[in-house]
Structures are given as structure tokens and as C-alpha cells.
Amino acid sequence: MEIASNLDTTLLDKVINLCKRRGFIFQSAEIYGGFRSTYDYGPLGVNMLRNVKQAWWTSMVQMRNDIVGIDAAILGPPAIWAASGHLETFTDPLVDCLRCKERWREDKINGVCPNCGSTQFTEARAFNLMFKTQAGPVEGEGATAYLRPETAQGIFTNFANVLGAVRKKPPFGIAQIGKSFRNEITPQNFVFRTREFEQMEMEYFVPPADAPAWHQYWIKERYDWYVALGIPEEKLQLHEHAKEDLSHYSKGTTDVEFAFPWGFDELEGIANRGDYDLTQHSNASGVKLEYFDQAANERYTPYVIEPAAGATRAMMAFLLSAYHEDEVEGELRTVLRLDWRLAPYQIAVLPLSKKPELEGVSEEVLCELRPHFMCDYDVTQSIGRRYRRQDEIGTPFCITVDFDTLEDHSVTVRDRDTTEQTRVKIADLLEEIRSRTKLPA
């Protein structure tokens, strides 16, 4: 792993602390001591995670004519995972430290136990990462099933169904957002590597000869998506996998890597999967997963270009990129400079006091804005403290309703990043916010 320069080694702790304190992410089952490597997304976290997924869906599906979506099942029979190669190859090399008995992935410890420093380990043995369960009402008598370790296979097994239903032709894609499960040996680094996570994957089916060009196209598209949503380019890099490091299905893989506090690490992988998956499922099921090109009068198995990202991992990268500390009027301020599309709340409406007349106008403002933006409403503490609280959770705009509002029908709009305040007529407020966010009318 390449170490990024100028890393703030305290940044991860600061973001984890903010996430718990402000309701982004909690340790799962915390009142019972916590359940390792599982996390619950609080009121702000669920908003932000939803926004990350929506930004991906908008870019990948809504704004394109060549990609459609599905939502496939999480549970799957062994036949799927045998055909895909997961039963045989989805393993990590596992070793135990002979001194402290801790268990580690052999390829992640550089020969030294991270817990006690020992260099003495057991022989490596394969450990399958899939969660195995049974489908049926009686324990021990049901059919064996697996929780999916990736969302991709549900796309491949539905290739013929989608092709017949929407009558697309290559190049076209099928996108999916959903939960995946991997029994990681050493989950680590907050939500970066967990056993339960959400993926945003798209399989783009192309004529075999066109696969290299489409692979490069999607590498650029996915890199640019992160930049457009606020990650500085100096925090991103592309890493092309060496041939000996490729997955069993891959003809070429390039990762978009982010400068996490521990160094550059994978944010998203873009792989040329060739025709491996469709061929494997076709052979195993006996169902032809091909495309008939009427113009050329030929059948072929499409190649697949796969951009695969983790929604939770992307959210973490956006939080780390957005976290800043500065000074406003001599006071230290923590601010999340999130793109407005990702922020848990785009707008906070803040009546200057709890006077009924101010709260009544504030409710009117909320009714005007809520159909278009996610809004917070906060009437507690001084206005300065409320500004700081909204800065810390990344709210781009605060709207203050004061006693002058009752006279001039105007409110104060405060910008999170510049702290500049502008007086705006309530009648013009929606258009003002739309212009600042470049949201279409």
C-alpha cells in the first residue's frame, strides 16, 4: 500500500468521534458491549448514506439511456456460487499467531503479528469468506443457502430476463445497490472493512472487441464522479492491478484509490470481467446467456465492464475529505464541507427565538422548502451555537427567521463555507437556494 503524503494521523479519530456525537454512525449493539465490525447509521448517517446512493443512481441510471436497474435477492443457492467460482476461490489465507493466538490474514500482516509483535505463525490455510445458512423452517433440514458476497451475480443470472424485458442491446448496463456480506477475518478501520456493507455495482455488457475502450471509459467516469462530489484530486489516484494480482475472473482491473489516514487504499474497482460470468452461468444452468446481433447475423457472449463501489466506504471518504477545522471570529470551528447533494440536511431553518409568531413563520418556510430539500429545524440554544452545530454536520445553508421577518417578509440566508449572510425575501427563497445549488426549477 502506498502511503499518501501529508496525512493527518488524527483525522480518523476526529471523524469517528463526530460521527457518534452527531448521529452519523453508531457501534451496533453498543449497550451490549458492541458487535464487532457492525455499525448502525443514525439520523444523520442514514440521510447521508441515502444521498451517496442517490448520487450514484442519478449518475449511473437516471441520467443515462443505456443503463437500467434491478434489485436481486440477497440469499442464493450453492449453484450460483459454484458457477461463479466463489465456493472454490473466494478465500483468504488465514494464520494464527503462536504467541497470542490472534488470527490474521497472512497477506495483511507482513510477517509480524500486529497484536504482540511475534513472527511465529501457523501454516496458512484457506478460509472462505461467504456466510452460509439454511433456508427452511426446520433447523438442519433446510436447503443450504449463502448470503451474497457481492451484488454482481444477481445481475448476471438475470441477464436474459432483463434483455427480454427492456430490449436493450450492447453496449448497455444493469445497475444495482444492495447489501453484501463477507466474513472478514480482520475487519478494520471503522466502516472501511466490515462484514456487512452496501455495494453500488454496475455490469456493462459490450461486444468483446470493444471491451478495452469501454474499460478506459468507465475508469475515467468513475474517477470524475468522486471529484465532482468534492474529493480533491490530490486525494485520489488510479492503481492498475498487476497480472499476478488479478482476480480469477478479471482480464484487467484498475482501482480508484483514496488517501485514507493509513494511506492510499481502494475506493472502487473497475474490472474487465471478460465473458467469464455469463459463460460460467450458461454452462452450469444450461440456459444460453448470449446476445443475437441481427445486423451482423451472429451470436456472441458479451464481455462485461464492472465498476464496483462500496456505498459505506464512499461515505467514509466523503466525510474524511469534508472534515475541516478553521476559526470564525476567534472561535475554533469544525465544519464538514460536504457537497450539498451529500449533506444530511441541505437547509436548517432557525427561528431566532421560541416566540410563537417566529415559529409560525418558520413553519411556513419549512413547508415551502421541504418538498425540494431535506430540512432541519432547530430552536435550541443561541443562534451562534446553532450555526456551529449545523456547520459541524455539513448543512450548506442556514435560514434565520427573526423579528424583522415579521415586518419585511425576509429571512437571513447564511452560507456554511463562507459564513456570509444575505437577506432574501421569503417569496424568492426557493429560487435563491435553487440558484446556489444549481438545482433545476
123-161 pLDDT, tens digit each = 887 766 888 888 877 666 668 888 999 999 999 999 999
pLDDT-derived band at 91 (thresholds 50, 70, 90) equals low
317-367 pLDDT, tens digit each? 999 999 999 888 788 899 999 999 999 999 999 999 999 999 999 999 999
Indicate if the pLDDT at residue 407 is higher than 60. yes
Lowest mean pLDDT among 81-90, 297-306, 358-367, 390-399: 81-90
Confidence of residue 2 (pLDDT cuts 50, 70, 90): very low
For residue 312, what pLDDT is reported? Answer: 94
CB neighbour list of residue 371: distance below 8 Å, 6 or more residues apart: none
| Whether residue 5 has pLDDT greater than 50 | no
**Is the pLDDT score of 280 beyond 80?**
yes
395 and 376 in contact (C-beta within 8 Å)? yes
Instruction: Tell me how many degrees the CA angle 165-175-57 measures, rounded to the nearest 5.
Output: 120
Residue 410's identity, in one-letter code, is S
Comparing 93 with 345, the larger pLDDT belongs to 345
Q: How far apart are CA 230 and CA 223, in angstroms?
A: 12
- Return d(Cα 254, Cα 216) in angstroms, integer: 9
Average pLDDT estimate for 383-400: 96
DSSP H helices, 41-167, are 43-57, 78-84, 86-89, 152-157, 159-166
Q: Which is more confidently placed, 331 or 173?
A: 173
CATH topology of domain 345-437: Rossmann fold (3.40.50)
Neighbours of 400 (CB within 10 A): 22
C-alpha to C-alpha distance for 56 and 421, rounded to whole angstroms: 32
Q: What is the pLDDT of residues 39-57, one digit of tens each?
A: 999 999 999 999 999 999 9
Asked if residues 297 and 185 have their Cβ atoms less than 8 Å apart, the reply is no
Q: Which of 7-16, 23-32, 58-67, 68-77 has the lowest mean pLDDT?
A: 7-16
Cα(97)–Cα(119) distance, rounded to whole angstroms?
Answer: 8
For the chain, give the mean pLDDT. Answer: 90
- The pair phi, psi for residue 220, each rounded to 5°, is -70, -45
Read off the pLDDT of each residue in 205-228 and give the average, rounded to a whole number.
97
Mean pLDDT of 30-40: 87
In contact, 109 and 125? CB cutoff 8 Å: no
Cβ contact 342:318 at 8 Å: yes
**β-sheet with 172-181: strand ranges across:** 67-69, 172-181, 196-206, 303-310, 263-274, 252-260, 236-240
Cell 471509459 appears where?
217
Q: How far is CA 92 from CA 2, 116, 124, 182, 265, in A?
A: 22, 22, 9, 11, 18
**pLDDT (0 to 100) of residue 4:** 45
Q: Is the pLDDT reported for residue 185 higher than 90? A: no
Q: Cα(363)–Cα(349) distance, rounded to whole angstroms?
A: 9
| Orientation angle between helical segments 383-393 and 11-22, nearest 10 degrees | 120
Site of grid cell 453500488: 200
Percent of the chain with pLDDT over 70: 94
Q: What's the CATH architecture for 11-83+136-319?
A: 2-Layer Sandwich (3.30)
Give the pLDDT of residue 8.
Answer: 64
pLDDT of 403 reads 95
% of the chain surpassing 90 pLDDT? 69
Strand boundaries in 170-296, DSSP class E: 172-181, 196-206, 236-240, 252-260, 263-274, 291-293
Average pLDDT (404-430) is 95
CA distance 256 to 270: 8
Work out the number of other CB atoms within 10 angstroms of the CB of residue 69.
16
d(CA 335, CA 337): 6
Taking residues 227-242, what's their average pLDDT? Answer: 96
Q: What is the mean pLDDT of residues 75-80?
A: 89
**What's the gap between Cα 61 and its chain centre?**
16
Place of cell 484530486: 233
Going by C-alpha positions, the residue among 245, 249, 240, 253 that lies closest to residue 274 is 249
